[in-house]
Structure 1
């Protein structure tokens, strides 16, 4: 009789068996980056105590799912495995799940209640449970019926700078209505709540702009797992194309968004790749508008960068970047400088965009 149980990858023997099983199933990337986010892992064992299936949980995402067809129905094992993972998450109060997988496994997940959000040649992302993407859209601010030209801007805003403000202003000037989505994940120096507040306060005078979080649907840590790719160097390309496809299909089309505004990025190759993916995936339905980065002083070669602001926070030289910040951001940083510096000392990264 087959049994299913939680296993612990901190045990070297268990980890080795797990990796060997997954390798036989075609999954072969076990980098520290991939494994660090795993919260729990389960395995199915046959009556000879051989591993015949496994699956892991990372937050609300299912990862490293694989089952063997030897000795039993692959479908039966798969269903049992997914059910165990769902029950485990439900016990933690999590009823909204995501999974990334290869295209050929789409119907297996659809059969157990998942819905496809976006699909590329490399893979797809599915979700199950509530709140889902439909409820996310329903909770967004409503655009006026008279709005014909609708644009979107997606910001991390860590923190919100005059450069971000310039990008939003540009979109607001050229469109009837603008959605500004703030990336929703607390992996930045400024929390999601803080970043959302600073963007709202920094754009409050723009009547045709509405600010909301991007939920789990935009440029989030729900990244395409590298273990599906033969060449990890292609990971960023595949991930960005999947993110762009999700935005186009699940956000832009239902909301009537016809353009997306992005800033040029001379300092980040990853952001450049993302902008390129947007330009390849979104048109012709959604036009990508590249806006040159704002500089400070105007006309200089010094682009306004949130990373520069974060470094100034670390060194306590916030006055050096005061001209890069809208008043609400400058006031917040001045008031909370000690706390922000403490976060950095505790290990909060300040690199990135």
Structure 2
């Protein structure tokens, strides 16, 4: 019986319905609008009766919604064919580094076709294939001095870089021999990745025992925040934060000899508070989580320094109200680019979040 694989279009209501019904029959029954909106291409395998027996989608460099029926086919045949098609499609677009998120029971199927497991939890796992990979990412980082015994890490978005971020990094630098400062690479903030990285580098240029780098796709990125195979939205933050924490512990902290990670306490954001809780559960005992109380401005007040507050001031054109929250380099950048930043907000760039 001849089977064929072809691209399908979820903009067609009938096709989308059949696709969702097939995935539901295979145990993938949650279709978040945000997940569906991010799909670039979707393929399906049809049997001789034109029944869907497999499907897989591409979102950027990530494989998603991949499932096959094993009925009427040799073990692994449909799965291997489908993954091969997705890889070939990405290769034609010049993408040779792939990620996939799946359930724990599917780990060996992906390992069999060349994927490497990066991290796993009881709920699922993340794998990658191709180059550059996590080993390439680590190799490109500046090396810590041989004399550095206490090595710490700080991961921040810095949207924009505030005195609060500076305070957190200073604490880590004072208490350790060497500190990796990772700036989230995901370019979904008011300030671009390049701008945020530059602000952190300029704002910490006097600290001699730190190195500033982007976190690549391995720290607090959409790659490590899958949700499409979760049963309901209430599981989302719980699962996502623990997978991200496990990825940091296994692929970043252990190979780089990082023994502590510094985070600020989070009185304003429930999601960030839950993320800190996940880190506290997953990182120890190998990696100590150090909670640093948020810096107040003015000192002794109840006003915590918040990048969100700064962004709102930018939107309202009241930057002078928040200059005490910012290093001089951040103030200068904002004043010089205020018109452009406000234009981004008017075009729909969100200013909420962390």
Matched with 1:150 is 151
- Secondary structure of 1:17's partner? helix
Q: Is the 8 A contact 1:100 1:224 kept in 2?
A: no
TM-score (norm 1): 0.99
Deviations 1:277-309 (A, max 9, x none): 111111111100000000110111110000000
Instruction: Point out 4+ residue stretches in structure 1 off by more than 4 angstroms.
Output: none
Q: Is the 8 A contact 1:100 1:225 kept in 2?
A: yes
Matched with 2:73 is 72
Matched with 1:300 is 301
What is the distance in 2 between the residues matched to 1:74 and 1:213? 41
**Structure 2 residue ranges without an equivalent (≥5):** none
Q: Is the 8 A contact 2:162 2:325 kept in 1?
A: yes
Matched with 1:229 is 230
What is the distance in 2 between the residues matched to 1:31 and 1:200? 37
What is the distance in 2 between the residues matched to 1:250 and 1:53? 32
Instruction: Summarize the alignment of residues 25-174 of structure 1 with structure 2, pairs less than 5 Å apart.
Output: 25-174=26-175
The alpha-carbon deviation at position 193 of structure 1 amounts to 0.4
- Secondary structure of 1:228's partner? coil
The alpha-carbon deviation at position 74 of structure 1 amounts to 4.5
Aligned Cα RMSD in Å?
Answer: 0.8
Matched with 2:349 is 348
What is the distance in 1 between the residues matched to 2:183 and 2:74? 44
- Secondary structure of 2:14's partner? helix
Q: Is the 8 A contact 2:218 2:224 kept in 1?
A: no
Q: Is the 8 A contact 1:68 1:74 kept in 2?
A: no
Deviations 1:95-153 (A, max 9, x none): 10000000000000000000000011000000000000001000001100000000000
Instruction: Summarize the alignment of residues 169-208 of structure 1 with structure 2, pairs less than 5 Å apart.
Output: 169-208=170-209
The alpha-carbon deviation at position 328 of structure 1 amounts to 1.1
The alpha-carbon deviation at position 226 of structure 1 amounts to 2.5
What is the distance in 1 between the residues matched to 2:222 and 2:339? 28
Deviates more, 1:287-296 or 1:222-231: 222-231
What is the distance in 2 between the residues matched to 1:246 and 1:225? 13
Matched with 1:338 is 339
What is the distance in 1 between the residues matched to 2:220 and 2:341? 24
Aligned residues: 353
The alpha-carbon deviation at position 336 of structure 1 amounts to 0.4
Q: Is the 8 A contact 2:227 2:240 kept in 1?
A: no
**Structure 1 residue ranges without an equivalent (≥5):** none
- The yes-or-no answer on 1:280 pairing with 2:281 is yes
Q: Is the 8 A contact 2:126 2:224 kept in 1?
A: no
Matched with 1:255 is 256
Q: Is the 8 A contact 1:153 1:262 kept in 2?
A: yes
What is the distance in 1 between the residues matched to 2:161 and 2:335? 14
- Secondary structure of 1:227's partner? coil
- Secondary structure of 1:184's partner? coil
Matched with 1:5 is 6
